[in-house]
Amino acid sequence: MSYPLYLSQAPSSLGDTVTIAVSKDGVKFSVAGEMGSGNMTLRQNSSVDTKEEEQVSIQMEEPVTLNFALRYLNFFTKATPLSSTVILNLSKDVPLVVEYRIEETGHIRFYLAPKIEDEQ
């Protein structure tokens, strides 16, 4: 998925965990807390009329839903000005990879393990 990462816009009072759910319908980001809840769904959008930096490309092998600490994802968003796109790679039971490709230089990758919730 290539899209600017704006998780830092989610107020910390909304919650400390973000749920990322990938399905055939798109990628849904959800946050819930004492003050309320919010969610945003990104759908495939790679038409010719769309600017490159606004395109959303989703490659999914199987649906997955994982929870991550919003605090650390907010740290990762500080690299957003370095690249016009961000690539999120996630699979069940492996860390999320947040990759910013920097033209003619290389890339920056951040890794974040999913939050493990108690099943009680």
The pLDDT assigned to 22 comes to 94
The pLDDT assigned to 12 comes to 54
Q: Phi, psi (5° rounding) for residue 72?
A: -75, -35
Average pLDDT, the chain: 83
User: Taking 90 as the threshold, does the pLDDT of residue 113 lie above it?
Assistant: yes
Q: Return all residues near 12 (Cβ < 8 A) that are at least 6 apart.
A: 70, 71, 74
The structure tokens listed for 49 are 């009329």
The pLDDT assigned to 13 comes to 58
More confident residue, 3 or 88: 88
Full-model pTM: 0.78
The pLDDT assigned to 24 comes to 87
Which tens digits make up the pLDDT trace of 56-110? 888 888 999 999 999 999 999 999 899 888 899 999 889 999 999 998 899 999 9
The structure tokens listed for 10 are 């989610």
Structural domains in the chain, CATH included, are 7-112 (3.70.10.10)
